[in-house]
Structures are given as structure tokens and as C-alpha cells.
Amino acid sequence: MTGGKDARESLDQAAYLAQRMRAQGRWHRPLIALLGLAMFAAVLVSGMALPPPLQTAGFTLAVLLLMGLVIYTASRKVIPRHHKLLYSLVTPVGVLLYTLTVVLGQVFFPKVLWWWLTGSILSTLPFWIIIAVNAATGRRR
């Protein structure tokens, strides 16, 4: 009868681990959404409202938020199955869009609303893509 006891212990341990993983993922999407909204605001406000010396601080904050996304998603114990390549490609694309927005915006489009609004939306694409992937994989389970 030790087999039955071992099986029950294994099931209890699996249930405990599943509960911990669900608890860890509970704030995953909302936290990434908050980071994305902060990134959006940092790029838009820095490009439209801040004078040039303070723009650098705003753009630095935006880079730190993007780095926060990378660190946060890398620290998660579980990446949705079959999406490791997507996770590794989405951040460089976001960095490229952010860089183009900031560099071209400061040179050619200072204080032009449509440029900074579009650029801030495109700069936050990595955040929304990761949320969408996590939502889609969560629904499939």
C-alpha cells in the first residue's frame, strides 16, 4: 500500500506546485500592461512636453521600462510553450521602433503630435504582443 501513499503525496505536491504557478501568473499580464502604459506615457510626454535637457531623462526612463519588461519576462519560471523565439525577437523589434521614434523624432519631428503618438504606440508593441501571447496560451489550457 505504499504505492497508493506515494501516489497521493505526488498528487498533493503537483497540486501545490500548480497553485504556486497560478498565483505567480496572476499579476503577469496586468504588470506588463502597466509597464507598457508607462512606456507609452514616457515616450509621448518626453517627445511632446519636455524641453531638450529633460527629454533625455524621459527617454532614459522609457529605456529602463523596456529593460524592465525584458528582466521581468526572463525571470518568470515558465514561458508559454513554443514561444521562446517570439520572446527573443519581440524585444529587439521594440528597441528598434523606440530608437527610430526617438532619434528621428528629435531631429525631424520635434513637438509633432502624430509622430510621437504613433511612435509611442509602436514602442509599446513588445508589451502588447507578450500580453496577447500569454492570453492566447492561457485560453488554450
**Contacts from 62-71 at CB under 8 Å and sequence distance 24+?**
62/98, 62/102, 62/123, 63/98, 65/35, 65/38, 65/39, 66/39, 66/91, 66/94, 66/95, 66/98, 66/123, 66/126, 68/35, 69/32, 69/35, 69/36, 69/39, 69/94, 69/126, 69/127, 69/130
Q: Give the per-residue pLDDT at 53.
A: 86
Domain chopping of the chain, boundaries:
30-139
Nearest-angstrom CA–CA distance, 13 and 138: 22
Q: Give the per-residue pLDDT at 85.
A: 79
Q: Give the per-residue pLDDT at 27.
A: 65
Do 65 and 122 contact (CB within 8 A), yes or no?
no
Q: Give the per-residue pLDDT at 141.
A: 54
Q: Give the per-residue pLDDT at 62.
A: 94
pTM, entire model: 0.78
Q: Give the per-residue pLDDT at 110.
A: 92
Mean pLDDT by 10 residues, the chain (141 residues): 73 72 67 94 95 91 91 72 76 92 94 96 93 76 54
Say how many Å lie between the first and final Cα of the chain, rounded: 34
